[in-house]
Amino acid sequence: MGSLILFLGIIFISALHNGHEPIASGREFIAPELIDKDEVFSNPGLHKVEGKDWDYELVFVVSAFNYNPGKVEIPKGSKVKIIATSRDVVHGFEIAQTNVNMMIEPGHISTFVKTFDKKGEYLLLCNEYCGTGHADMKSNIKVV
Ligand code: CUA
């Protein structure tokens, strides 16, 4: 009984403390109807940045049933901050053969910082069931 109370207590405190959000820092929310007017999300793709802890920001707008951009080339060795949101429903964001695996939710901004130090082609795919086109939902990430 004691351990159950402790366990529920931990869940309760962490829910209040972190809001159970999927990301740890930076801007966390964007309304789907504001995506096209937003200075970050109106311009999806790979962008070089200066003065940050990463070399590039890779912005994705995700919707049923595609990723925008549908194809990305990343220079080998780059440290990339992936920034993504959904227009409609919950989607997955898994880059096969890497540790990148996020949930993309409408209204939220999900981020992941990753250094791409192996050349090759990587499949970005949706691993959350999101409707009839789920199985075809993918993008291609090429590290060159
Ligand atoms: Cu998007 Cu499954």
Q: Running DSSP on this structure, what letter comes out for residue 77?
A: T
Higher pLDDT, 95 or 11: 95
State in Å: Cα 123 to ligand 1 middle: 14
Instruction: Report yes or no: 44 and 60 within 8 Å, Cβ to Cβ.
Output: yes
Ligand 1 centre from 107 Cα, in Å? 16
Specify whether the CB–CB gap between 124 and 141 falls below 8 A. Answer: yes
Is the overall model pTM greater than 0.90, yes or no? Answer: no
pLDDT tens-place string over residues 2-53:
888 887 776 666 666 554 444 445 799 999 999 999 999 999 999 999 999 9
Higher-pLDDT residue of 81, 4 = 81
Q: Measured between alpha carbons, how far is 23 from 40 in angstroms, rounded to an integer?
A: 17
Which ligand 1 atom lies nearest to the CA of residue 131?
A: 2
Position in ligand 1 atom list of the atom nearest CA 64:
1
Which pLDDT does position 88 carry in this prediction? 98
Q: Give ipTM to 2 decimals.
A: 0.99
Share of the chain above pLDDT 70, in %: 89
